[in-house]
Chain A
Amino acid sequence: MTYFSKHENHKDKIIDILQAKYENGSNFGGPSAFNFLMNELIDNIYTHSEFTNACVMAQQYKAKGFVEISIHDNGISIPSCFEKHGIEFSGDCEAIQKAITGTSTKDKTRGFGLNRTMKMYTDDINDVAEFLLISRNGAVYKNKNDTGKFYSLKEPSTLHGTLISIRLSYPATKINAAQYY
Chain B
Amino acid sequence: MPILVEKINMRDSIGRNLALRESADKLFDSIDLLQAHEIVLDFKGVTSISRSFSQQLLHRMNKCPVKVDIINQSKDIDSMFYAVKNPKDKYKLVEFNEKEVISFSF
Chain A interface residues toward B at CB < 8 A: 11-16, 19, 31-32, 35-36, 38-40, 42-43, 46-47, 90-91, 93-94, 97, 100-102, 109-113, 115-116, 118-119, 122, 139-140, 142, 147-154, 156-157, 178, 181
Q: Which residue of chain B has its CB nearest to the CB of A93? A: B101
Which residues of the other chain, B, contact A97 by a CB distance below 8 angstroms? Answer: 94, 96
With A16-B16, A178-B76 in contact, do A43 and B105 touch (Cβ < 8 Å)? Answer: no
Is B102's CB under 8 angstroms from A47's CB? no
Say how far B24's CB is from chain A's closest CB, in angstroms: 10
Is B53's CB under 8 angstroms from A100's CB? no
**Interface check B7, CB cutoff 8 A:** no
Say how far A44's CB is from chain B's closest CB, in angstroms: 8
Is A181's CB under 8 angstroms from B51's CB? yes
Partner of B93, one of A36, A113, A142: A142
**Interface check B17, CB cutoff 8 A:** yes
How big is chain B's contact interface, by range? Answer: 35 or more
Partner of B20, one of A12, A115, A149: A12
With A150-B100, A150-B101, A157-B106 in contact, do A19 and B90 touch (Cβ < 8 Å)? Answer: no
Which residues of the other chain, B, contact A148 by a CB distance below 8 angstroms? Answer: 93-95
Is A43's CB under 8 angstroms from B50's CB? yes
Q: Which residue of chain B has its CB nearest to the CB of A97? A: B96
With A139-B104, A154-B105 in contact, do A12 and B17 touch (Cβ < 8 Å)? Answer: yes
